[in-house]
Structure 1
Amino acid sequence: MTHLVLTADSSSAGGVVSAGHADLAVAIELRMVWGPPRSDAELAAFWAARTSQEPGSHWLDSVPPWRLQKFGMSDLGLIDACRRAETVEFWMDTEPNAQLVLIWLLDHLGPQAKSLGITLRHVDASLGETEPARLAEMKFPGVAIDDRHIEVAGLAWQSIRAPTPHDWFNLLSRDLSILPQLRRCVLEMLEELPARATGLGASELRILELIAAGYVYPFDVFPHYRQRFQRRVFGYWEAGALLEGLALAPVPAVSGLAEWPFTLVHNERERLARYKASRLSLTALGKAILAGTEDFSRHNPIDRWWGGTHLTNDRLWRWDPVLLVP
């Protein structure tokens, strides 16, 4: 029998196994904080037994086939795998994407999560950044999933997929303590909506602030410098897209980006080197945005997704610390 753990990224999965907390750890690596929402059919197929799903569209895609075979888990759906395992635990980091994966998981399983005997670990550390020896010594409280977990997760999952941010905002008035990291996730996601004054989300604004502070190379303003960046919603690839949006807009807020698109510069060593060597600076618009006198969306088209909300110039939901406004 197998001790199965689900995490939200491969580095966490590797750390949990290396620390001896799991026989098999599966990373659910879908990025729920970025891009348009997946359809209900796509989401259901992700957890189902493997048939014709595209690569990256099945919950076991992050695990090498030989390892799945070792534990008799090849191509199984989530529920069948949970039934086959001796114990099943969810180890989800504190970052917003991991919390969105958690509420999706709980909503998908519903009451079956109780009958399957799944344990939820209250993780309050970065699993992937903790040395295995240290992680082996760490103890995270584990609780059996009950009706309250399922109720709160289901409400939150439907809220983030709603066509406006209202329901997600309204979560702040509810008791979310059964999922200890969820309230912080709600706030951090709201902060990535366009700000009322600037038209930029918190991470975009932080990029401008760092450039203004003298960090002129692209990778110096990326979230992997956690203490410097101070925002946790987006990761490496998303930061590249955010910087491009600021630098390549019709009226840019950043100048000096030497190579793009970010997803392709990694294919050629010379292009990646030129990208890394780019010397960034703020344009007049970027400086005015930081001064609080200009709004990025007044000069540039907005077309991006926030959960189930499609943000455009005509439908630009904005956030400030007091209220949510259309």
Structure 2
Amino acid sequence: MASRRLIVTNGSAAVGRIRASFIPADHIIAWSDVLHEGPVRIGLSSKQLRNDRARYLSAREFGEFDSILAEMSERDDMFVRGLTEYDEVVLWFEHDLYDQLQLIQALDGIASRFPVRASVYLVCRSQFVGESSVDALRAAFEGRVPIGTMHLREAADAWAAFRDERPVRLNDIVTAGSSKVLPFLADALHRLLEELPHPQTGLSRSERQILESLRVRPATPPVLFRMCQEQEEAKFMGDTSFWSVLIPLLESRRPLVEPERARGVKTSWNEAGFLTSELRITDAGRAVAAGRSNLLDHLSIDRWLGGTHLTNTCHWTYGDLELAGPCSRSFDKTADEPRSPSSC
């Protein structure tokens, strides 16, 4: 009987590219979850986590709840079938944050069922699948490496740290640096920590890149997205995720970004007018970017970094490779002037 192979990769574009390269596989499935966005809370069962993620992604207009949940359930069922019924499972992920979080979730899923029937292998490169030639993809497949207990142990530790209510263990992994078996993980998790507010400005790295780009020149959202992408060591963010970073800067009490000519701007990424509105940085934005003011004096935040819930009154900061928290910075949307922060 011929051996059966399952390939697991990041998204539908990579599925199509691998399939078009005629790499032998009975099934190729996409993980397709933007885990760097929204809650990935600890203490949930697999079913509860799928529901949590589908609820968040549907609220963010990535699709309908029932459709997203069905796709995630089908993905997980196929993954378990591959591990328990197939001869070989290949995890094929890239080096960026989006992929590395998916990889440690998948490896944690293997660890929780280990030992498994299938032989499991890893393809993990610093070249994006969509930018690779057919020959390069075939060579990468031929160079796949067996996944061993060290892969599983390190991934399970990282996945638990990512889902923790406190990012302390996550910072410990980043501080320890890259490992031999998961060489891109520490850098990816460092990039994740950079999405925490900076202690002086309150800006995440993505927010800082937006303001710094607009200090150079006004730009429409699509141009601004490309400008910010060029500042990344490993591009990980799609445009829909980028809009969710940009739009609050337009809607804060004292907007940090504003339309250059129009008096108002549509602030839903899928509404007419938003993508063609040329944006510029405001005086308030310049003050925050320069560290003379703090974003959390202008904006009420309520977001997640894995299992860590970030609000003005309870958040963590990260700057100059230093993690601090939990911190509180009082925000009053009715106040004329920013209120004094409490220390971390």
Q: Shorter-chain TM-score category?
A: 0.7 to 0.9
Measure, in 1, the Cα distance between the counterparts of 2:74 and 2:84: 20
Residue 92 of structure 1 and its aligned partner are, at CA, apart by 0.6
Measure, in 2, the Cα distance between the counterparts of 1:140 and 1:191: 35
Q: Secondary structure at the match of 2:7?
A: strand
**Equivalence map 1:1-326=2 (5 Å):** 1-23=3-25, 24-37=27-40, 40-43=44-47, 54-58=66-70, 76-110=77-111, 112-115=113-116, 116-132=118-134, 134-138=136-140, 141-174=143-176, 176-222=179-225, 226-228=229-231, 232-256=235-259, 258-262=265-269, 264-265=270-271, 271=272, 274-326=273-325
Measure, in 1, the Cα distance between the counterparts of 2:249 and 2:196: 15
State the match for 2:330 in structure 1.
none
Are 1:106 and 1:149, in contact at CA under 8 Å, matched by a contact in 2? yes
Normalising by structure 2, we get a TM-score of 0.79
Residue 229 of structure 1 and its aligned partner are, at CA, apart by 5.5
Structure 1: runs of 5 or more not aligned: 48-52, 64-74, 266-270
Measure, in 1, the Cα distance between the counterparts of 2:32 and 2:312: 31
Counterpart AA for 2:66: E
Runs of 4+ more than 6 Å apart: 60-63
Percent identity reads 24
Measure, in 1, the Cα distance between the counterparts of 2:229 and 2:235: 8
Counterpart AA for 2:246: L
Q: Secondary structure at the match of 1:222?
A: helix
Residue 11 of structure 1 and its aligned partner are, at CA, apart by 1.0
Normalising by structure 1, we get a TM-score of 0.83
Measure, in 2, the Cα distance between the counterparts of 1:178 and 1:241: 33
Are 2:167 and 2:308, in contact at CA under 8 Å, matched by a contact in 1? yes
Residue 153 of structure 1 and its aligned partner are, at CA, apart by 0.6
Change in Cα spacing, 1:58 to 1:106, as seen in structure 2 (3 Å) is: farther
Residue 293 of structure 1 and its aligned partner are, at CA, apart by 1.2
Change in Cα spacing, 1:282 to 1:184, as seen in structure 2 (3 Å) is: same
Are 1:254 and 1:283, in contact at CA under 8 Å, matched by a contact in 2? yes
Residue 129 of structure 1 and its aligned partner are, at CA, apart by 3.0
State the match for 2:340 in structure 1.
none
Measure, in 1, the Cα distance between the counterparts of 2:210 and 2:159: 29
Measure, in 1, the Cα distance between the counterparts of 2:140 and 2:152: 27
Residue 213 of structure 1 and its aligned partner are, at CA, apart by 1.3
Residue 144 of structure 1 and its aligned partner are, at CA, apart by 1.4
Residue 54 of structure 1 and its aligned partner are, at CA, apart by 3.3
Q: Secondary structure at the match of 2:69?
A: coil
Deviations 1:177-228 (A, max 9, x none): 3211101111111111111121111111111111111141111111587325
Change in Cα spacing, 1:291 to 1:173, as seen in structure 2 (3 Å) is: closer
Aligned residue pairs: how many?
302
Structure 2: runs of 5 or more not aligned: 52-64, 326-344
Deviations 1:227-254 (A, max 9, x none): 2555634321110111101111122110
Are 1:202 and 1:231, in contact at CA under 8 Å, matched by a contact in 2? no
Q: Secondary structure at the match of 2:45?
A: helix
Change in Cα spacing, 1:44 to 1:20, as seen in structure 2 (3 Å) is: farther
Residue 82 of structure 1 and its aligned partner are, at CA, apart by 3.1
